[in-house]
Amino acid sequence: MTEKQAEKIKLKIKKIKSELSADKRRWGGFYDDSRGLRYLPPQYYIKLQDWSGGLRYLNWFHKNFPDDAGFPDFLFELAIILLKSGKIKQAEQMIFRSFCSNTYILDKFFDKALIPIEKYENSNIDIPEYLVDFKYRSNNANLSDFSCWLEEFVNSEKFKNGSQKFIEIQKLLKKEEDRELRGILLNQLRELKKEF
């Protein structure tokens, strides 16, 4: 990347931060951000390979949007930033959150076939079609260390057990119609994500 290209990316980040600050002022100390600008910066920090800047952004995001579940690709980008910053445990948690948001994202990253699973999918972000424009691949040169780590992590007992349990609950949710039992299953999903 040339210095001019890097400056253009830095300018994009600065513009997004400025627009988010204006949004907060407009709403009296709260963010509306209906355009989803808050999800854009991580991809730019990854392009710049600015891991400390990305980590600062992640901390700002969690402080200002503590209940925001994020999108699968956004969570995946945060995992890249965390790993590159040496935050391995947090990177593991973020990969699991990304997987729970879209169980096909890891197969997409590793260029595997996306085989639909007969499970509960409650929105358009947790289906294979959501990943049509997903831009990260395991063969990206600047992600080789991340790819090696991720391959090892997804083959670990910890991830295998967690992901298998998640999919099993999702399959039960697909068939379950009793509201009380659905509530129990949804609570199990929340607990699984917290425990991971």
**Which of 31, 32, 56 has its CA nearest to residue 42?**
56
- Output the six-digit token pair for 171: 């399959």
Q: How far is CA 85 from CA 9, 75, 101, 121, 131, in A?
A: 20, 15, 23, 32, 26
For residue 182, what pLDDT is reported? 95
The model's pTM is: 0.93
Hey, is 174 helix, strand or coil?
A: helix
Which pairs count as long-range contacts for 129-132, CB under 8 Å and 24+ apart, including other chains? Answer: 130/72, 130/102, 131/72, 131/73, 131/102, 131/104, 131/105
**Which of 5, 97, 105 has its CA nearest to residue 49?**
5
For residue 111, what pLDDT is reported? 96
DSSP-derived letter for residue 30 is -
- Rounded Cα–Cα distance for residues 23 and 167 (Å): 38
Residue 173 burial (CB count, 10 A):
18
For residue 30, what pLDDT is reported? 74
- Rounded Cα–Cα distance for residues 97 and 42 (Å): 16
In order of start, what are the domains of the chain with their CATH numbers? 3-156 (1.25.40)
For residue 129, what pLDDT is reported? 95
Walk along the chain (196 residues) and give the pLDDT tens digit of each residue.
Answer: 899 999 999 999 999 999 999 988 888 777 888 889 999 999 999 999 999 999 999 999 999 898 898 999 999 999 999 999 999 999 999 999 999 999 999 999 999 999 999 999 888 999 999 999 999 999 999 999 999 999 999 999 999 999 999 999 999 999 999 999 999 999 999 999 888 8
Residue 193 burial (CB count, 10 A):
15
**Residues 89, 77 contacting (CB under 8 angstroms):** no
For residue 167, what pLDDT is reported? 96
Q: How far is CA 178 from CA 121, 159, 172, 188, in A?
A: 17, 30, 11, 15
For residue 62, what pLDDT is reported? 93
